[in-house]
Structure 1
Amino acid sequence: MIYKNLRTLPKVTQLDIMESGDLNLLCSAGEEVPMEELIAIWVSIQEEFNNRYNKQKSSKVFNLYREIEYLEKKYTIIKCAVDALEFDVHEELIELLQGYGYKLRKEFYIEDLKRIERESEAIVIKINRFVDQLPKPKQESEQSDFSIIETMGTYSTILGYDFDFYSISVEKFHALEIQIKNKVAAIHKNNTKNSK
């Protein structure tokens, strides 16, 4: 099974993905789904989430993870292409490097390869800058899994009925959140009337 929308995606899983960046959590254990498809699904889920609940911070974190992943793959491709071209001239690899904006001239072939290798190290610096912008990992005692479960426990107590904390969908969780706000506001209003 692949979680494709807020109606099916468990809230706990959504938070796990936001914190870890592990898009494989969108599908059942052992199910192989191409990363491009998972990224497309997650982008769609995040857009739906932001449109409905306006939580821009999670979108920013996801975009950082996506950019880091892209740059890591780009760096690996460039390094592998340069390594292969050191042994043999291959037109497709030369075109690939040119597609990334590198110049590879036949008269300065070895020098250009070494220059490309040096220049590609700037990608690592850019990756590290993005990593520095990510939220710092929380200590084990501060994990949001605990706090979201604690929040759900409070919701359950206020509403007067129990639900499965680990399978409740994002959509249902936020619907309960509205009920809680309304119930707390009504209690507060009632208490204010009684105190007069």
Structure 2
Amino acid sequence: MQHAWTGGGLRFSYCTEHDLPDISRMLSKESVCRWLFFGPNTDEGTRSYFLPLIGEMRAAFRAGRMPDHHVFTVRLEDTGDFVGQCALFPVDFSPGSFLIGYQLDDVYWKRGYGTLACTFLVYFAFTLLEGYRLNGDTVAGNTASRRVMERCGFVLEGIQRKYWHAGGEYHDRLIFGLLKSDLAPERLSRLGETFTAA
């Protein structure tokens, strides 16, 4: 079973315990967590969240099946330097529907890597998992995350006012969606050419 893919100069691989120090360092930063409803995290907090996910994925691979959760570490293909992470989580009672997530270390912002990570999730969900829908959300003030989803074809489907409370303030939640049927077959085919098995 495939565990890693490359595309656009990045390597996307299923997260393992070896990745946790890099993830923990990233999620301890105020800058990275500014628009997240969690964090900055302690090392213990990060490990307690990720270890069960890593365990579930590892058990699935040992059993020869796809895991329920797909959490990827993103690194530069040529050096292996840590860039961030991205993930697909199943939506309860809706097989084939997934929630997307991505976080990049602040030293790699504004290089197009967020859009590439989101594009990888679109490719993975619609091509390898045969999903039909992707769901995304962001704080209204996080224009960078909003642009990433819009570049990948996501459509704004709703606003939940004062949904999150973080940093002593209330924040609106923007809800985005993308259907597989929104994408032309040629675009899906191009995604398959962008990412290759590593």
Q: Which TM bucket (shorter chain)? A: under 0.3
TM-score by length of 2: 0.26
Identify which of structures 1 and 2 has the higher relative contact order when contacts are C-alpha pairs closer than 8 Å and 6+ apart. 1
Structure having the higher strand fraction is 2
Considering fraction of residues, name the structure with more helix: 1
Higher Cα Rg, which structure:
1
When normalised by structure 1's length, the TM-score is: 0.27
